[in-house]
Chain A
Amino acid sequence: MDPCVMVIDDDVDIRETIQDLLELRGYHVLVAGDGANALAELKRGAHPQVILLDLMMPGLSGEDFRAQQLADERLADIPVVVLSGARGVDEAARRMGVESLPKPVELDQLMQTVNRFRQR
C-alpha cells in the first residue's frame, strides 16, 4: 500500500499542489479544507503516516483540530507537521508539541520531512 499523507489547508491551490507533487512521488494523499472535515475523514478510518496542518482556517482551526485529535486515542498517535505562513508559526507548533514548516516551503524541505515519516 502507498504511504499516506493528509493535507489540511483551506487554500485549494495549496491542497492540490501538494497533492499533485506528493502523488507524483508515490504518495497516497488525503485532502481536507478544514479541521472538521479532516476529523470526520480520520474517524471514518483513514490513518495517514503524517498530517500537514495549516493553522488559520475557518471553522476548526489548526490548534483546535490538534486538540480534538489528541483527545481521540485512536488518532492521537498520528504525527502532525504545521505548515503555515501565519506569524508565530514556530511558537504555535511548540505549544502543540509538533514540528513546523513555514510557508512558503521549499519542495526539497517538504519532501525530506514527509519522507522521514514514511520511513517510520
Chain B
Amino acid sequence: MTRHVSIRTKLIALTLLGVLAPIWFVLFLVGAKEIRDIRSDMLTSSGLIASVVADYGAAALAFDSRPAAEDALQVLAENPRFLDATIYDNDGKLFASYHQDVPAARSPPPELHDTLSRTSLEGDRITVVQPIVQGGERYGALLLHTSVAPLVLRIHTYLWDLLWLIVGVIVASLTLAWALERLVTRRLLRLAEVARDIAKHEDSTVRADDRGSDEIGLLAAAFNSMLAELAHRQEETREAVRLRDEFLSVASTELRTPLTSLKLRVQGLIDQAPPVANPADAERLRKSFELAERQVRRLEKLVNSLLDVARIAVGRFPLQSEEVDLVGIVHGVIGQFSAEIGRSGVEVLLDVPVHAVGCWDPLRLEQVVVNLLSNALKYGAGKPIEIAVHLDDDQASLIVRDHGIGIDSADQARIFERFERAVSLNYGGLGLGLHITREIVHAHGGTISVESEPGKGAAFIVVLPRGLRAVAEAGQAWTHA
C-alpha cells in the first residue's frame, strides 16, 4: 500500500515522526517533573511562611496582644499570593486575621487542635494549619490560605512554550524533509523524466546527467550503461536492416538481368516456334513453352516483390495516379487469373457497380487486386470467393472474401508486416504480398483491414479515397464472373 505514497510524503512523515516522538516523550517527562517540583516548592514555602508567622503570633498570643498579632499577619500583605491568614486561640476563638479580598472564614477548621502542622492543596488554594507553640506550650493555631495562581501561570507558560516548540519542530521537519526530497526524489524524478523522453522521442543518445557516487548516482550510471547497450543494439539492428534492404535492392536488380534475356528468349520462341510435323510433339512443345512462360512470370513477380519491398524500406514508393476504374481493374485481374480459376474450379462471385472511378495508380491498384485475389485462391480451400466494390461520393471500397482456412486473431495484426505469414511455410511465397498491398493502399491515403475467423475464411477490406468528385455509379448486382 505504501508503494502508492510518494517518497516525498514518506520522507515528511518519517521526519515528523522521528523528531516529534522523542520530543513528546522528553517534554512529557520534563513537564510532569517540573509541575511536581513547582507544586512541592509552593507547598514547602507556604509551610515555611506559616511557621515564621506562627512564631511572631506566639508572643502576641502569650501577651494577649491583638495589635501585635495583626502586625505579624500584616507582613503577608506584601505578597499577593497569601489570600488570608487567621490566628485562633486554644479555644478556637478568632484572635487576629488578615485577608486580601474576601473575609476569612469565621468558623475554625477542625484540624486547629492538631499538634503538628499540616499543608494541603485543596482546589485553587493551599491550606496550611500551623500550631502556635512557644517554649513547649501551645497557644493557638494559624490558618493560612495561599493562592495557586503562580503554579497555574507556570503551567500555562509551560504549555505555550511547548506549543511554540512543536510548531518550530514541524517547520524544521518540513524543511528537513524538503531538503531530503531535493536530495533524493528530484534526482529520481529527473531519471524518470529522461526515461520518458527517450521513449517519447525514440532518441537513445540521451543520457542521465546525474554524476553522484551515492546510490542514486549508481542507479543513474546503471541506467546510462543500459542506454548505451540499447543504443548499440539498436545500431546493430538498424545496420542489419540496412544491409538486408541493400541486399534486397541489389538482388532484385541483379535477378532482373538474367530474367530479361530468359523472358525475351521464351517469348521469342513462342512467337516464332519452328514448325513440328508430329502433332503429339507439337502439343508437348506448346505445353513446354506455356510452362516456361508461366514460370518466368512467376519469377518476375517474386523479383518485383523484392524490389517493391526494397523501395518501401527506403521510402521511395512513387505513385503515378490518373483517373482509373477500379471495377475495370477487377475484371482485368479476374481475366488474368481465368486459367487458374478454371483449373481450380473455384467460383468467383462479383458484387460491383458498372464503374468505380477514382484517381489512383492503375498498376499499383492492379497489384492490390492481384495480391488479394491470389491470396483468396491460395488460402480459400476451393470454396467460392466474393469480390465486392462499393462506392460513395468520397471513397471506394474493395472487399475480397474467401471461405477458407482463415487467420487467427493473434496473427491478424502481423500479416501486413514484411516477411510475415499467418500460415506455415508449406504454403510457399515470400510473405511480402500483404505488406506491399498495405503500403500501396497507404500511399493512396487509404486503409486496409481484415476480418477473419479461423476455419471460416477471411475478408480483406480496402478503403480508398477517390481523390476526385466522380458521379456515383449505381446498380450493384451479384454477377458470376
Contact = CB atoms under 8 A, between A and B. Distances in A.
Given A85-B260, A87-B253, A87-B311, A106 B267 contact: yes
B253 A17 contact: no
B245 to A, nearest CB: 11
Contacts of B428: none
A18 B261 CA distance: 8
Most buried by B among A18, A56, A85, A106: A85
B316 A88 contact: yes
Interface residues of A, number: 22
A107 B267 contact: yes
Interface string A1-32: 00000000001011011101100100000000
B307 A87 contact: yes
B260 A24 contact: no
B259 interface: yes
Interface in B246-274: 249, 252-253, 256-265, 267-268, 271-272
Nearest to A55: B253
| Count class of interface residues, chain B | 20 to 34
Nearest to A101: B260
Contact of B261 (A13, A56, A88): A13
Contact of B268 (A20, A86, A105): A20
A110 interface: yes
A103 B310 contact: no
Nearest to B267: A107
A21 B264 CA distance: 8
Contacts of B296: 104
Contacts of A56: 253
Residue of B253, B259, B296 with highest tally of chain A CB at under 10 A = B253
Nearest to A105: B260
B366 interface: no
A14 B271 contact: no
Contacts of A18: 264
Contact of B256 (A16, A20, A104): A104
A32 to B, nearest CB: 16
Contacts, number: 63
B260 A104 contact: yes
Contacts of A20: 268
A13 B316 CA distance: 30
A4 B267 CA distance: 22
A56 B254 CA distance: 11
A107 B261 contact: no
Nearest to A14: B261
Nearest to B266: A107
Nearest to B258: A13
A85 B238 CA distance: 26
Interface string A106-120: 111010000000000
B325 interface: no
A38 B303 CA distance: 30
A40 B265 CA distance: 29
Interface string B301-334: 0010001001100001010000000000000000
A49 B303 CA distance: 32
A108 to B, nearest CB: 8
A11 B263 CA distance: 15
Nearest to A13: B261
A17 B261 CA distance: 6
B473 interface: no
A104 B300 contact: yes
Nearest to B249: A87
A18 B271 CA distance: 14
Nearest to B307: A87
Contact of B253 (A86, A106, A107, A108): A86
Contacts of A90: 318
A42 B475 CA distance: 61
Interface in A45-63: 56
Given A17-B265, A18-B264, A103 B257 contact: yes
B294 to A, nearest CB: 14
A98 B282 CA distance: 42
B259 A104 contact: yes
A106 B271 CA distance: 12
A3 B292 CA distance: 31
A19 B335 CA distance: 33
27 contacts: A11-B261, A13-B257, A13-B261, A14-B257, A14-B260, A17-B261, A17-B268, A21-B268, A24-B268, A24-B272, A56-B253, A85-B253, A85-B257, A85-B259, A86-B253, A87-B252, A88-B316, A103-B256, A103-B260, A104-B259, A104-B260, A105-B260, A105-B264, A106-B267, A107-B268, A108-B267, A110-B264
- Which 5 residue pairs are nearest across A and B when measured between Cβ atoms? A85-B256, A107-B267, A104-B260, A13-B261, A103-B260
Interface of B: 249, 252-253, 256-265, 267-268, 271-272, 296, 300, 303, 307, 310-311, 316, 318
